[in-house]
Amino acid sequence: MLDYSAPLRDMQFVLNELIGFEQICALAGTDDISLDLSNAVLEEASKFAKDVLAPLNRIGDLEGSKLDEDQVTTPTGWKDAYTAFKNSGWCSLAMSPNFGGQGFPKVMATAVYEMWDSANMSFSLCPLLTNGAIEAIQSHGDDKLQATYLDKLVSGDWAGTMNLTESQAGSDLSAVRTKAVPEGDHYLIKGQKIYITYGEHDLTENIIHLVLARTPDAPEGVKGISLFVVPKFLVNSDGTLGERNDVKCISLEHKLGIHASPTAVMSYGEAGGAIGYLVGQENNGLMYMFTMMNAARHGVGREGMAISEASFQLAHSYATARVQGQPLGGGSIIRHPDVKRMLMTMKSKIEAMRALAYVCAFEYDLTDRHQNEDQRSLSRRRGDLLTPIVKGWCTEVAQEITSLGVQVHGGMGFIEETGAAQYQRDARITTIYEGTTGIQAGDLVGRKTLRDGGRGMEELISDMQDTVAGLNESTPAMRKIKKALATSVDDLKNAAHWLLSNASDPQLTAAAASSYLELAGITCGGWMMAKSAALSNEKLKDSACDPFYAAKMDSAVFYCSQIMPFTSSLLNIIQNGSRDIVNLNLESA
């Protein structure tokens, strides 16, 4: 089993050097944040992840959460861990000080959240959903809703959920049937929701559900969806808890992985109607829910990267200790060329994903906190563009990396006791929830490339081209990296141009979408690795420099020689193979 240790050095490199800590401290509301404080927060989070959360990961997988009537019990140690988590202030790290939060930038919080995801992904899902509920209420709720719910959600005393999916309406939210009938100052909610992460549990005294439903006169389709706050326990005017609301968990799903995270089927209104409170205005619920959704999509992409890190650490530890066969020079299997290939594939992609996820989070910070309006607008476009890439690409890469984690173990990887298989099972959901990879790819093509005539992608490509132009060629490694990035950026540019040229054929662009997402992900990752290499190359001029920079250079060279060449194949698939997908007829196959 894994003795998880957070990769603090790489986290600090991305925050302090790649992004630049001075850039983070230039954000509004960061006056009290220093480099010493940032490092101290990361150190403490690392200890909590290692000492409290990681030891519970296997226990949670074996025990799972259990339903007795309508009450859910989480695994052994879960409640104590959550109480310690809440009392340590981790719930409020990036939340607004207006509601009791600590006001840390999202990019710094992303580094902390990565540790929870790596150490115990099932546990981390609870605060992930709560954070999304906070953002939705804070962005769209009225003063009364904010006063009633935000302090308790921010503190972690209460948890939040997102209720979208119904059995007849998976990703197609236009088919939502849950009803909301107005009654005085509230609505009566009736219906069922499925796949509700932490829909019922014993970690907090109240659970605040954000529920999509239709009012009686709502128009058909997604334009008729409204968003409601539906608490498990009603809240009295003085903030104390009142009677149980007409909402309950009627079953838990039996899943491939994340066993400790209770995925609930929720029933609303079996005794007449669950009391719910409208968020914002009627029929704007889908727009409001996307506030939660975008935050969650970035978080899920981060989870894909983080669980990959855990899988890599376990595989690297095993390969270091395992002696088998006749590797050159003798010793453990970590000297086998194919094991080297697998481990460095894992390591380099993780580093690329980490940098991209953090940079995307920083774009959110710039959107919210930068003083210049033009920069805020640019960052909003950039964050919106990168989000489906972070979510879609990082979670798909997690499937490869956790599979390699099993492969490095050989037969022992297929044995549950080693822990390698759990990472692969747990990672599998990340490509599905909060919108499948196909949905992310469609979003990247439709909303993020075609809708604005390619403006956001053109801005991104221009920045990448500037990076290429600025890379020096002082060493063979840097020359190789520069050439690889230039090729991949051209591939991405040509792919975007092809999509824009074929925008009148939505079937054709949809057929190209997944390949376009993968191409964009590899290229963005290569951009991050090239910038990291440039920084490391400067450090390596000092013979006494930290060996970290030599390892970073090795990762960048490997990524550019072994990963980035795939962008040219993907471009060929997009340009010459998309029509073949459109022409397929599988109904008669």
Residue 253, CA distances (Å) to 52, 58, 260 in order: 26, 19, 11
Task: Report the relative pairing of strands 71-73 and 158-163 from DSSP bridges.
Answer: unpaired
Q: For the chain, first and last CA: distance in Å?
A: 45
3-class secondary structure, 169:
strand
Candidate list 114, 282, 351, 434, residue with the active-site label: 434
Task: Report the relative pairing of strands 206-213 and 158-163 from DSSP bridges.
Answer: parallel
> What sections of 26-120 are H helices per DSSP?
35-48, 54-63, 78-87, 106-119
- Judged by phi (left if over 0) then psi (alpha if -120 to 50, else beta), residue 269 lies in left
Q: Which residues pair with 229 in a beta bridge?
A: 210, 277
Residue type, 436: T
Give the integer Cα–Cα distance in Å for 100 and 155.
7
Nearest C-alpha neighbor of 346 from the set 386, 304, 388: 304
CB 533 within 8 A of CB 475: no
Helix axes 506-539, 566-582, angle to 10 degrees: 170
- Contacts by 464-469, CB closer than 8 A, 24 or more apart: 464/489, 464/492, 464/523, 464/527, 465/489, 467/527, 467/530, 467/531, 467/534, 468/530
Is 306 exposed, middle or buried (CB count within 10 Å of its CB: 0-12, 13-18, 19+)? buried
3-class secondary structure, 217:
coil
Residue type, 302: R
3-class secondary structure, 312:
helix
Give the integer Cα–Cα distance in Å for 75 and 56.
9
CB 388 within 8 A of CB 449: no
Residue with tokens 């498990």: 232
CB 578 within 8 A of CB 503: no
Residues 6 or more apart whose Cβ sits within 8 Å of residue 506: none
Give the integer Cα–Cα distance in Å for 495 and 239.
55
- Judged by phi (left if over 0) then psi (alpha if -120 to 50, else beta), residue 383 lies in alpha
Tell me whether residue 434 is one of the annotated catalytic residues. yes
Nearest C-alpha neighbor of 302 from the set 128, 139, 158: 128
Q: Which residues pair with 193 in a beta bridge?
A: 266
Task: Report the relative pairing of strands 226-231 and 71-73 from DSSP bridges.
Answer: unpaired
Please identify every residue annotated as catalytic. Answer: 434
